[in-house]
Structure 1
Amino acid sequence: MDILSEIIETKRKEVATSKELYPVKLLENSTFYEAKSVSFKKYLRREDKSGIIAEIKRKSPSKGVINGHVSVERTSIGYMQAGASGLSILTDQTYFGGSAEDLKVARSYNYCPILRKDFVIDEYQVVEAKSLGADAILLIAAVLNKAEIEKLGSLAQSLGMEVLLEVHNKLELEQSITDKVDLIGVNNRNLKTFETDVKTSFDLAESIPSQFLKVSESGIADPEVIKKLKKHGFEGFLIGETFMKSGRPEKAAKEFIKQLL
């Protein structure tokens, strides 16, 4: 079993447990549930922002612990002050060291679009994302078929959230495109081998239909790469490890973004 299959198997068990502990009716009573979502598409296109979706990620299966003691409050505020266009918050605990609480903390201190970064496989998680204060969810083509993407994407959109569809190759892109997603992200990291190559974004750029905002994800460590990606139509750039490996991720983000603006 590869790591992605293992993660999904674990996630199914976690979702089943969450459904018992926190029924949908309880989630719908959250103070965040009725709040109007903030648009990633609008923020990524704001001229006073960098286009960067800055991520909070404590660890990963490929790198182990990256920054185990990060302050979500300080880092999320610092990211936005540095000029990030939005936040990505890992909520998977087992493999990435995140939590639902991380997202709630980020939401409490920031008025900006927040992506719930997790392995969404069930409608329950979409409702849960809204209850935590997320403005967008991630759907991963490597673990979902088109019917599942449409079902989950449709629910998210009906709740006012946007949907970032993540693909890694042309086949995934062709098999999963639907109007039930709003942004298409090219993951430069192969989720089965965890090898990373930004060339993946350049290779897929022309194949992404123009109605979708293009996001390049993972492996971006040089501002010059972002300048090149922009020439290929990318408007969003999800960066986690490049910032998180610093003791003060928000300072690393500030120095990085300063070279872009």
Structure 2
Amino acid sequence: MRGSVPSILGALAEVARERAAQLRRSADLDILYEEALRFEKRPFAAALEAPGVSVIAEVKRASPSAGDIRELDPAGWAERYEREGARCLSVLTEPSRFRGSMLDLDAARERTGLPVLRKDFTVDEAQVIEAATRADAVLLIVALFRDAKTLSRYVSLAGELGLAALVEVHDEREASLALEAGAGIVGVNNRDLRDFSVDLATTERLAPLLGDVVLVAESGVREVADARRLRDAGADAVLVGEAAVRDPSLVRRISSMPW
């Protein structure tokens, strides 16, 4: 992990390393790998490439930037998002600051037919294998990787297991590393992890550098106009988190808007 990783992200990564170490102690990774190969995945990338803008609706109770958002039942919330027109789900499994768990992911995925992203801070290949036993996609944050070679290894492992990798970037350097690592789905996070400010211009600035990848705009979508702006910038999909939890009808309004 690079020394310049912002402190909040660094703290979350440290907790993730502890959880990954516990996973390695408690599970036989060879058996887990075989389970991951057998687990039938849903087509995450294809859902994002469907006509119009695809909405990845997020199940989360809290975040470092917003604090507690609301109590929710992941299964019921997933079902509602599907009714509202979401094409994929994102489920927070990070426990310390987002109050999530793998049980939340299981509950959400079992209630719907949508592809589900495990959203967490992936710092160990064991976590990729674990995700592939229960999810359809995994989040890989470029800021947590030393170089493109290491990131490429994680992207390749996900591919071996039939798992889509959503590779998240925040700036030009990270965009370049994502492409060098062979990322096929790239998420541009409009939130600055140093101060949590949000600027949709981040997607507008980075989109032209990302070529033909499936492009997901993350953070800052609070109204339909935001989604339209990001789509005009080249986004194939938008990930809607806090705003969707506060008002799930936003998912329908984005999904049903004319393009």
TM-score in terms of structure 2 length: 0.90
Contact 2:217 2:235 in 1 (8 A): yes
Alignment partner of 1:189: what SS? coil
Match of 2:3 in 1: none
How much does 1:40 deviate? 1.9
How much does 1:179 deviate? 5.5
Does residue 8 of structure 1 match 2:13? yes
Contact 2:54 2:237 in 1 (8 A): yes
Match of 1:136 in 2: 137
Letter in 1 for 2:218: E
Contact 1:223 1:260 in 2 (8 A): no
Match of 2:222 in 1: 221
Match of 1:239 in 2: 240
CA RMSD in angstroms comes to 2.0
Match of 1:73 in 2: 75
Match of 1:124 in 2: 126
How much does 1:41 deviate? 2.1
Alignment partner of 1:119: what SS? coil
Contact 2:58 2:89 in 1 (8 A): yes
Answer 1 or 2: higher relative contact order, Cα 8 Å, separation at least 6: 2
Alignment partner of 2:244: what SS? helix
Contact 1:51 1:85 in 2 (8 A): yes
Contact 2:39 2:133 in 1 (8 A): no
Contact 1:218 1:239 in 2 (8 A): yes
Contact 1:58 1:70 in 2 (8 A): yes
Match of 1:98 in 2: 100
In the TM superposition, what whole-angstrom CA distance separates every residue of 1:109-133 from its partner, at most 9, and x where no partner exists? 122211110111111001100112x
User: Which piece of structure 1 moves more, 161-170 or 178-187?
Assistant: 178-187
Measure, in 2, the Cα distance between the counterparts of 1:26 and 1:77: 31
Contact 1:72 1:102 in 2 (8 A): yes
Letter in 2 for 1:160: G
Matches within 5 A, 1:156-235: 156-178=158-180, 180-210=182-212, 212-235=213-236
Counting aligned pairs with the same residue, the percent is 32
- Unmatched 5+ residue regions in structure 2? 1-5
Letter in 2 for 1:24: L
Does residue 114 of structure 1 match 2:116? yes
How much does 1:163 deviate? 1.0
Letter in 2 for 1:106: A
In the TM superposition, what whole-angstrom CA distance separates every residue of 1:131-171 from its partner, at most 9, and x where no partner exists? 12x11111111111212211111000000111111001111
